[in-house]
Chains A and B, each alone.
Chain A
Amino acid sequence: MTNEVKGRFGRFGGQFVPETLMTALQELDEAYDQLNEDSSFQDELRYYLKNYVGRETPLYFAERLTKEFGGAKIYLKREDLNHTGAHKINNALGQALLAKRMGKKRIVAETGAGQHGVATATACALLDLECIVYMGAEDVKRQALNVFRMELLGTKVVAVDKGSATLKDAVNEALRHWVTNVDDTHYILGSAMGPHPFPTIVRDFQRIIGDETKAQILEAEQRLPDAVVACIGGGSNSIGMFYPFVEDKEVALYGVEAAGKGIETGKHAAAINGGQTGVLHGAYMHLLQDENGFVQEAHSISAGLDYPGVGPEHSYLHDIGRATYVSATDEEAIEGVKLLCRTEGILPALESAHAISYASKLAKTMTPDEIIVICLSGRGDKDVHTISEALGGDLA
């Protein structure tokens, strides 16, 4: 286990929140511990994951991508095939069921790319919960399609024009909303970040990615992969993929941060590779900040990775050297999108394309009898305008 002291991952994590939220976090912690051992809750979650989300998702051998890379054998964990198009639904549905069991009537959430917002809006429609989603005004522009989807699903989307008007500011507003309405509202945090117990809850709802992968690769190859690669913003798809492999030391874990225009330019979202440790949004973690402790804006072409912090469990895995944190630039991510489209006929989310890009380098250093699993965390339909713009097109 990576959290020996509850709520802590080594020196990271914790509960750095206003006192008004402490009782709610403790209630959530207790309710979650109880439900974790409640087989009727687990059965209900499994039922929806299978029949509604469409799990399990395939572990697909990408033959043409393997040839293109010219090295290790490449498998793709197809989280893009989930209902709503990304891994985010695993957590949103789990937490919405949890909120319902806790007797909460309303849900608040933040969203960056809009995938978590859409997933939460979907789960709330399904379970008849009132839902309000905060989204940075910049992201509302970048992800107009997802805003429309959320509204169709009956969710109220509030554009946040403060600060950098991106994910971090949406989290601030969602936290403020929660502080003010804590009695009847549950906050569905979308990534493996924030105050305890969120990093643990989100990881547990996302570990199905790694659990399925493990069973599937053992069936296909009769052995574990040599490496798994996943992109990291807050780090929910990656921790979900990594966690079941943490004790399997022969499996190398690679988290790919967003290097934006390049870490050396300062315009990036690589908290581990380009930040220092600090406190934001309830957790002690790696954070982009200046010498005064002010949080700096993150930059990434992918709205879902555009966050200045990183989940505390990743900071810990980095600290102990169990996982390796690397990065890919905006440009490399675009190349990753093009590559996967052409070789496999799959349009990946810009977030996931960061993992594709790094895997292309890693594979070349490995032999054909070695195996890499890439977490394809989401599909790229939401990104077509951004991709078109980056390629000089005028779709946007």
Chain B
Amino acid sequence: MSLLKDAILSVTSQGDKAFIPYIMAGDGGLEKLKPTILKLQQLGVTAIEVGIPFTDPVADGPTIERAGERALANGTTLRKVVETLNSFADEITVPLVAMTYLNPILAYGVESFSAEAKAAGIRGVIVPDMPLEEREIIHPTLSDAGIDLVQLVSLTSTPERMERLTKASEGFIYAVTVNGITGARSSFANELEEHFKKIQSYTDTPVLAGFGISTPDQVKNFGAFCSGVIVGSKIVDSLVNEDWTTIEELVAAAKTAVV
């Protein structure tokens, strides 16, 4: 059973698309985490991806990297994020997905992290620098705690890898839509639709598109051939500017993705 998967399926079964915003925990101070999460869930997002800052975020583009630097400067750590989430866990109604590089989890201790993250409402974990081949270092412990380990599938993944990744991924499949790092982009390869169909053919776990999705049109376009989208850099920028209108438009686009 996966709370994350259930949350996504309950949205898609009604004809809508899942929408998962990415926020950088600690950007603007950890005290912003609670109001941001409560407001996002009020807008009707499917789940929330909570980014943990890291000193060497090799998978992140400039927007999220800068947000991470600001969060680090505020003293944000994985432990403090988990503590903060735990302080209002009873008010959290959507599944949280932590996105963190591997080393902070190792330093935390995989067992303590799993137990404390679960108590804080974290239902899934994405580790961008840990491919399938290395996941035994944390997967059994997360699994025992009932936390999903979400795998990324990239455009460069071979069909053989794609099949293994999609079958192993828990909660949902994070389909990276570009070669490269996170961040807004204006154009996407035409073959993407085929790519998504291929991924979905291996599994009934929902496939979500992420990396570079920044406009309501892109939310709709991607929504047309997968179960939903993850929007990162645009949300991070909008939160910094307190531009909730942009966020509302993105969330709304997912609700009417199927025309």
Contacts and interface: CB of A to CB of B under 8 A. Distances in A.
A287 B107 CA distance: 11
Interface string B98-128: 0001111111100000000000000000001
A396 B169 CA distance: 55
B133 A15 contact: yes
B22 to A, nearest CB: 16
Given A278-B106, A293-B108, A182 B179 contact: yes
B107 A289 contact: yes
Nearest to B77: A292
B140 interface: no
Contact of B152 (A18, A183, A295): A18
Contact of B77 (A18, A23, A280, A294): A294
Interface string B70-85: 0010000111000000
A17 B78 CA distance: 20
A279 interface: yes
A172 interface: yes
Contact of A295 (B65, B103, B161): B103
Interface in A165-190: 168-169, 172, 175-176, 179-183
Contact of A20 (B57, B108, B132, B180): B180
Contact of A279 (B129, B176, B180): B129
A293 B107 contact: yes
A141 to B, nearest CB: 21
A22 B72 contact: no
B155 interface: yes
B150 to A, nearest CB: 11
B156 A15 contact: no
Interface string B55-78: 111110000010001001000011
Contact of B151 (A19, A169, A181, A279): A19
A223 interface: no
B176 A20 contact: yes
A74 B78 CA distance: 50
A287 B158 CA distance: 32
A14 B134 CA distance: 7
A292 B107 contact: yes
A251 interface: no
A16 interface: yes
Contacts of A364: none
Contacts of B79: 292
Nearest to A176: B181
Contacts of B101: 279
B56 A295 contact: yes
A182 B103 contact: no
B19 to A, nearest CB: 23
A175 B59 CA distance: 9
Q: Which of B132, B153, B155 is most buried by chain A, counting CB atoms within 10 A of its CB?
A: B155
B7 interface: no
B180 A281 contact: no
B231 interface: no
Given A19-B131, A23-B161, A279 B102 contact: yes
Chain A contact surface mostly: mixed
Contacts of B57: 172
Nearest to A277: B106
Given A23-B158, A24-B156, A295-B56, A18 B129 contact: yes
Interface residues of A, number: 36
Given A175-B58, A294-B72, A295-B55, A16 B102 contact: yes
A292 B104 contact: yes
A181 B158 CA distance: 17
A291 B129 contact: no
A18 B103 contact: no
Contacts of B131: 15-19, 22
A162 interface: yes
Nearest to A20: B154
A21 to B, nearest CB: 8
A289 to B, nearest CB: 7
B129 A23 contact: no
B121 to A, nearest CB: 21
Contacts of A182: 156, 179
Contacts of A179: 58-59, 179-181
A175 B65 CA distance: 14
B92 interface: no
B78 A293 contact: yes
Contact of B56 (A23, A163, A292): A163
Given A179-B59, A294-B72, A280 B103 contact: yes
B77 A20 contact: no
Given A23-B161, A292-B78, A18 B58 contact: yes
Contacts of B152: 18-19
A15 B55 CA distance: 19
A280 B101 CA distance: 9
A175 B181 CA distance: 10
15 contacts: A14-B133, A15-B133, A19-B152, A22-B154, A22-B156, A23-B156, A162-B65, A172-B58, A183-B156, A183-B179, A278-B103, A279-B106, A281-B58, A293-B104, A295-B55
Interface of A: 14-24, 162-163, 168-169, 172, 175-176, 179-183, 278-282, 287, 289-295
The list of the 6 closest CB pairs from A to B, nearest first, reads: A293-B107, A180-B180, A293-B104, A20-B154, A293-B103, A292-B77
Interface of B: 54-59, 65, 69, 72, 77-79, 101-108, 128-134, 151-158, 161, 165, 176, 179-181
Given A19-B152, A162-B69, 14 more contacts: A15-B134, A16-B130, A19-B131, A19-B165, A20-B156, A20-B176, A22-B133, A172-B58, A176-B58, A180-B181, A293-B107, A294-B72, A294-B77, A295-B103
